[in-house]
Structure 1
């Protein structure tokens, strides 16, 4: 059974999104389910810091020993940071997908957009 923290929101494409900070910035990564399905992660392509992204856009990719998977922006906004640690240690996504394995941060254009994302319960039902 995948680890699905109750305090996060989820996209149908297997990204998680943390709660917004005081500046409206959210942290985004891929779920435990997604990293498990991918297998050993060997490369991460990040979005550009400063790039404007729209919900549903492909913003990067995660490459594993099995396949390559697109990373989708679950929200609209501006990329404010990427996890450059993953450049040298992409396998951190496998060992800690909800912690040190985060992918990028976005300053939200509209905070209410997170309301349309899946709850932990809804995501659990989606992945079985």
Structure 2
């Protein structure tokens, strides 16, 4: 068995919380493979014909949540005309990122700790 029931529930809970964002983003996709399980395909090219990052085989909800909140944080930085380097994130950007993540983290309080980790990388 690829996943325990608990692992499957975790990943699906995160997928459900971020469903609209996953559907609407142009930067990554999430797929199911009968061979390896859930696959996070990151770095979709602007032409939508290649990936600039290796796929991630997801084994838990935390990994998926961490990847998605990173993308949301990068969206905020991009909208503010800033680099994707979150270490350079100022108080205005940090506040906007936290505000943007709040609706998701209300559904996923067990992953709130990941937000602080964003700014420590």
- TM-score normalised by L of structure 1: 0.29
More strand by share: 1
Query: Which TM-score applies when normalising by structure 2?
Result: 0.31
Q: Which has the higher contact order (CA 8 A, sep 6+)?
A: 1
Which of the pair is proportionally richer in helix?
Answer: 2
Larger radius of gyration: 2
